[in-house]
Amino acid sequence: MLKSIKDTGKLFQIEGLRNGKVNIKATTYLLSLPEKQQAEVLAAHLEHLKKDLEKYHNTKRSSYNKNNEVEMVQVKLLIEVIEGLMAQV
């Protein structure tokens, strides 16, 4: 599993999908930070996820395995979730 995917668990937990909406719970660590620092931490994490996604796009499709594809989908979803969170701040 990619480090950026694991690190996401330090910031928030995605608890499930209900009525087309993602249920997200921020971790104690993220909530303990001042609001400005929360945004900075999320922005830095978002950049890390985008770099991981770029690595996948630069990898030859023939060298993908099922695990790579699953991780790529997870990274894309995490990017969407974090961008959505940041849009609400």
Continuous segment of H or E residues that includes residue 67: helix 66-88
Quote the number of domains for the chain: 1
Phi and psi angles of residue 3, each rounded to the nearest 5 degrees, phi first:
-60, -40
**Domain limits for position 70:** 3-88
Residue 11, number of CB atoms within 10 A of its CB:
20
Q: How far apart are CA 37 and CA 34, in angstroms?
A: 5
pLDDT, mean of residues 38-56: 91
Are 37 and 56 in contact by the 8 Å Cβ rule? The answer is: no
Provide, rounded to the nearest whole percent, the portion of the chain with pLDDT above 70.
91
pLDDT, mean of residues 7-24: 80
Could you read off the pLDDT of 54-81 as tens digits, one per residue? 888 777 666 667 777 888 888 998 999 8
For the cut 90, the answer to whether the pLDDT of residue 24 exceeds it is no
Q: How far apart are CA 28 and CA 10, in angstroms?
A: 9
